[in-house]
Structure 1
Amino acid sequence: MRHRPDPALVSLSTGAQLLHHVEALADLLVDTVAGGASVGFLSPFEHAEAAAWWAAQAPLVADGRQTVWIANDAGGQPLGTISLVRADKPNSRHRAEIVKLMVRRDARGRGVGGALLATAEAAALAEGRTLLMLDTETGSPAEALYARRGWTSIGVVPGHAAAPSGEPRPTTFFYKSLSA
């Protein structure tokens, strides 16, 4: 088995930290959309639009509703990212949502996505979040990753989200129960 060096994971837990990384995160988001991943944006998708989207996440990070992690290569360049969004209603403080797991196209298949997912899961559990949810495009490589990592498929909603091309695609919803 080929050795895969672990990416360096950086937690962005303040708005200022996120804003410091906006340009690199925007590059990653543009690459992800250009690669056909259904992460909420349509092609053509420009860097300025991606940077604006990331900058708009800073208030969520600043008030603790969201944490963003970046996996960097040895040179400090982002290979991928993941976010944990906390539920904020009194009856749902035990759960959170995994959003925007993205891995640069030339870094896929190297364990980056799994490392990011494990980090977000561990952080959620450490703060008492015992139920995680997420959704992904049905048939995508991410869907297979979640199944391998112990996530349970709830079901598929046809035409739930559009691919970057604008074509409606089915979405698979997952949950994972965490325990110490």
Structure 2
Amino acid sequence: MTRDPVVEILPRDYDAAVPGLTGVLHACVHAGASVNFILPFPVEEARAFWTGKVAGAMQGGKRRLWVAREGDRILGCVMLDWDTPPNQTHRAEVTKMLVHPEARRRGLARLLLMRLLQGARDAGKTLITLDTTTGSAAQGLYAAAGFEVAGSIPQFSRAPLEDRLEATTYMYRML
């Protein structure tokens, strides 16, 4: 029997996961993933994202994190964020869906997303939202998982590898 490649990283295990998460984020941005960062993107900036912005939310109980592993190596991740206002406690957001370029086309993103959706159900969330680059492979993954397009915004963010603006598509799924 093969081991499930997707596991949840609990706050107590978070620090040990940071090096692997740093490597995945760094590699994905350098491969063109539009996930809030642009080149140049040194590894220190990737590490600072995980040790700064994410660490506090993990400790504060407003974010859950799943990773896909092969042995001890982290190959991908996804987060469920519900740091929302009091009138939006029923919803959460998908953030940082990443799969290392060397591990793509193995179904890891789908497995990560399915685990996140189950985690959202378990947490009592009924609406999941996200944004993704319009026309990206990720948009197709989300559509296949039942997410619907709410709308798109042109020239929303700078492309990570070149000096141009990209549209983003907002999507949602009811649970």
Q: TM-score, normalised by structure 1?
A: 0.91
Q: Please, which moves more after superposition, 160-169 or 60-69?
A: 160-169
* Equivalent position of 1:65 in the other structure: 62
Cα contact 2:63–2:83 (8 A) shared by 1: no
Between the aligned residues of both structures, percent identity stands at 35
Distance 2:148 2:37 in 1: 26
Distance 1:7 1:30 in 2: 25
Distance 1:89 1:138 in 2: 27
Runs of 4+ in 1 over 6 A off after TM superposition: none
Q: Where does 1:11-30 land on structure 2 (aligned, <5 Å)?
A: 11-14=8-11, 16-30=12-26
How many angstroms does 1:91 deviate by? 1.2
Q: TM-score, normalised by structure 2?
A: 0.94
Q: For residues 9-67 of structure 1, what are the alpha-carbon distances to aligned partners after superposition, in whole Å with 9 as ceiling and x for unaligned?
A: 221231x4222111111110011001101000011211111001101111100111111
What residue identity is the alignment partner of 1:144? G
Q: 2:114 aligns with which of 98, 115, 118?
A: 118
Q: For residues 82-132 of structure 1, what are the alpha-carbon distances to aligned partners after superposition, in whole Å with 9 as ceiling and x for unaligned?
A: 000014322111100000000011211111000000001100011110100
Aligned length: 172
Q: Where does 1:62-101 land on structure 2 (aligned, <5 Å)?
A: 62-73=59-70, 75-101=71-97
Aligned CA RMSD, in angstroms, stands at 1.3
What residue identity is the alignment partner of 2:136? S
Q: Quick check: 1:107 aligned with 2:106?
A: no
Cα contact 1:114–1:145 (8 A) shared by 2: yes
Distance 2:107 2:49 in 1: 26
Q: Where does 1:150-165 land on structure 2 (aligned, <5 Å)?
A: 150-165=146-161
